[in-house]
Amino acid sequence: MNNGTPTASKPRSAARSITVRIKRCDGPGKPARFESFKVPVEPGANIISVLQWIAAHPTTDGGQRTTPPVWDSGCLEEVCGACTMVINGKVRQSCSALIDDLAPAEGDTITLEPMTKFPVMRDLMVDRSRLFHNLRRVKAWVPIDGTYNQGSGPRESPEKQEVRYTLSTCMSCGCCLEACPQFTPEPDPAAWNTSFIGAHAISQARLFNLHDTGKELATQRLDALSGPGGVSDCGNAQNCVKVCPKKIPLTESIAAMGRAVTLHGVKRFFGVKD
């Protein structure tokens, strides 16, 4: 019936209202509560713009004056990972979560919660220190620091670049950890070295082991991945690859590092150096 009409001309209601339920928490260890806000939304609005409106008008739908909600965000284009939160029960970035998709009709409700695997600092803001700690466990970097110029690095084949490029798009957002049944909250930093390291760190270990200079640390990375909390702790639920916003083949990385630690283990068993 829309013969010749471009789909872009689909009429959008100019101004409508939705309800946003936010899990509030005043600080670390404080009790959580839900607060609902009635928010007018423009076409094309995202969760961040809705949060900004609520912060400017911090009155609940019951007319109660409250504090402006706190959240974390940075790039607003789904490359920094800072604004990751649980939206309608699923983890994702709030900047790329559009209201028109999540709450298309007048009066629809959107529920916002902080990630559950990291300690809540306040409201929707969490402390992701453990995520970065786990990257340090596998030395997820290329060792180039030294007292003299080491010259240019080795050339990389386009094939290898292709594999590594996808892995390098990881933005440490934490989606894979939030959705992982094997990555559980661990408030004690002393236990972080033996609790499950997570898909992101396993994939980054693969990225840097594939790098010709990065692989100088390959043995240390494989030692870390062989030990407690390493790649063996993966339970193959494969939620990580489903929720990864960058479509990183995390389960392939896990299997690849599984193979690497198998060979590493066999070599170590027979006393062969890598």
Partner 1 sequence: MTTNESFMQRNYFLLRRLHSLTGVMPIGVFLLFHLTTNASIVWGMLDSREGATALERGVRTFQAEVDFIHSTPFLLLVEVFGLWLPIAFHSLLGVYYARTGRPNTGAYPYQANWRYTLQRTSGYIGILFIFYHVATLRWGWTWMVPGGVEWKHNFAASTMAQILRGGDEWTAAGAAVSAAYFVCVSMLVFHFANGLWTSAITWGLTISARAQKQWGYVCAGVGAALMLAGWASVLGFATIDPVKAREIELRHAAGKGGAAEVLPAPKP
The residues of the shown chain that bind partner 1, judged by CB under 8 A, are 89-90, 179, 181-182, 184, 194, 196, 226-228, 230, 232-239, 241-243, 249, 251-252, 254-263, 265
The distance of closest approach from Cβ of residue 58 to partner 1 in the complex, given in angstroms and rounded to an integer, is 28
Closest distance of CB 232 from partner 1, Å:
4
Nearer to partner 1, 22 or 260 (CB): 260
The CB-of-185 to partner 1 minimum distance in angstroms stands at 9
Provide the β-strand partners of residue 39: 18
φ, ψ (nearest 5 deg) of residue 94: -80, -25
CB of 47 to partner 1, least distance (A): 18
Quote the least distance from Cβ 228 to partner 1, whole Å: 5
Instruction: Kindly tell me which of 12 and 259 has the beta carbon lying closer to partner 1.
Output: 259
Residue among 178, 90, 79 nearest 126 (CA): 178
Q: In the complex with partner 1, which residue's Cβ is closer, 151 or 181? A: 181
Nearer to partner 1, 79 or 163 (CB): 163
173: its two tokens: 């957002």
Residue 64 or 262: which CB sits closer to partner 1? 262
Type of residue found at 25: C
Phi, psi for 5 (deg, rounded to 5)? -90, 125
